[in-house]
Amino acid sequence: MELTGLHVLLTYQCNLECDHCFVWSHNWQKGTLTISQLDEILDQAQQVPSIRSVFFEGGEPFLYYALLKHGVERAKEMGYTVGIVSNAYWATSEADAVQWLKPLAGKIDSLSVSSDLYHWNEELAEHAETARAAAEELGINIGVIAIAQPEVVSAESVVGTLPDGGSRIMFRGRAAEKLAAKVQKYPAAQFTTCPHEKLASPSRVHVDPLGYLHVCQGISMGNLFAEPLKTICDRYDPEGHPVIGPLIAGGPVELADRYGVGELQDGYADACELCYRTRTVLRDQYPAELAPDQMYGA
């Protein structure tokens, strides 16, 4: 595998509790990196020369501003392309947003903020526009992420094509529990591939505050606090992984069949819902690979 991007979840905490979130973040969620742990992760990233970009996300990374700022500065010094993903809760006015962003200007290459009604309410959605104005004032490259409403999820999008104007919901994590019931269901048999992740050779992965390295949220390749990132990458054996192997061989339906999980319900909103629901059943069997609890709302 050639890893080019590392996404660091600074915290599982978030000031919001969005229905479409697949990380089960909320105000009291456990799991936040310390600065020394973040340094250790960035040091480990240096041992994998193919990594060129580091993104900081969460949860909501601006909740731990000193940690975020430290990570941004360190990653930039190391020569990475640096990005942040945020819900822009801090953009209460353009003047305030400028103050939040000024220490990061010249150090981040991109800022992605959420703008949709799933991010709590219209007032907060407006924060994205305020953040955009502040970022443009400071010369920060900003993008806005919008999640399509469930009604927009079409049969076409279920198999991996995005509707125009936004990202579609992926029905895993909280989104599977809160939103999947609102959309059309499809037979499990059609979900024979993973439509979103390059499982056999991932180019970007997520590391969480507990050290887990996720090829997709809740599917761990290893733990950076137990084994170095480089070793995990060098030893990565996707076909031999008890969860990733079946997903590569035949998608979520193969994962369910391989372990005799069977049909858990009449149909599924998308491949991710089938994958996620099957994995929740398999967690006792594969606790190290299907971790941590924060990815499963446990």
**Residues in touch with ligand SF4 (CB under 6 A):** 170, 172, 194, 196-197, 216, 219, 247, 252, 271-272, 275-276
Q: Measured in whole angstroms, how far is the alpha carbon of residue 160 from the centre of its chain?
A: 17
CB of 251 to ligand SF4, least distance (A): 7
C-beta closer to ligand SF4: residue 109 or 293: 293
What pairing do the DSSP bridges indicate for beta strands 53-57 and 110-114? Answer: unpaired
C-beta closer to ligand SF4: residue 140 or 247: 247
CB of 174 to ligand SF4, least distance (A): 13
Sheet containing 53-57: order of strands = 142-145, 110-114, 81-86, 53-57, 5-9, 204-207, 212-216, 219-223
CB of 171 to ligand SF4, least distance (A): 8
Residue 152 is given by DSSP the state G
CB of 269 to ligand SF4, least distance (A): 11
Closest CA to 248 of 181, 202, 188, 294: 202
C-beta closer to ligand SF4: residue 23 or 247: 247
C-beta closer to ligand SF4: residue 44 or 278: 278
C-beta closer to ligand SF4: residue 48 or 274: 274
Nearby residues of 31 by Cβ (< 8 Å), 6 or more positions away: 11, 12, 13, 208, 209, 210, 292, 294
CB of 122 to ligand SF4, least distance (A): 30
